[in-house]
Amino acid sequence: MAEHAEPDVTVSQLLLAEYQTVKDEQKTRIGFRDNLLYVTLAVVAAVIAAAAQAERSAMLLAIPPVCVVLGWTYLVNDEKISAIGKYIRDDLGPRLAQLVQAERAFGWETAHRTDARRRTRKALQCAIDLLAFCVVPLAGLAVYWSAGQTSTGLLVVSVFEAIGLVGLAAQVVLYARPFS
């Protein structure tokens, strides 16, 4: 008759290790996401300064594609950060709580979402994201269009850039989910 060996790792230890791994990924993504705002501001300021110094409004056309790429990267990371929180709240936490026969696990993952000002903060963050990634580059396009230095080819490019920025703005609003 074979003896039953005790497992070296318990299910609860595995779940806690998974929790630590996803929280580490979430923390890394938060840092990366937040730095994207600073990078965007630095790039926009550099392009505006260069365009003003050179007195060439066409240089402002560099801002929209940079903002679309950085803004989309920001949104993707923000979505993954939220997805990790949802996974912990809806899947990992309940599995661990059931396993250890507790009412719940990882209570902070839910508690911090009950703040009375959460909706206001989310709406303000949406406005900041729209300003940084969409409004500022659209203003750059408006300056280009009104400067009187347009060419047909660059005008076509600028219209496509505007369409891209409007698309990004729609995604920013959709991802904001101020009521969730």
Tens digits of residue pLDDT in 33-46: 999 999 999 999 99
Mean pLDDT of 63-74: 98
pLDDT at 98: 93
Percent of the chain clearing pLDDT 70 (strictly above): 94
Quick check: 33 and 81 in contact, CB under 8 A?
Answer: yes
Mean pLDDT of 84-98: 94
Residue 3 has pLDDT above 70, yes or no: no
**Global confidence as pTM:** 0.87
Place of tokens 């630095």: 42
Round to whole Å and give the CA distance between 61 and 44: 11
Per-residue pLDDT tens digits for 131-140: 999 999 999 9
| Secondary structure (3-state) at 101 | coil
Please state which of the ranges 8-22, 39-53, 73-87 shows the lowest mean pLDDT: 8-22
Q: Dump the DSSP string for 124-153.
A: HHHHHHHIIIIIHHHHHHHHHHHTT---HH
Round to whole Å and give the CA distance between 35 and 51: 24
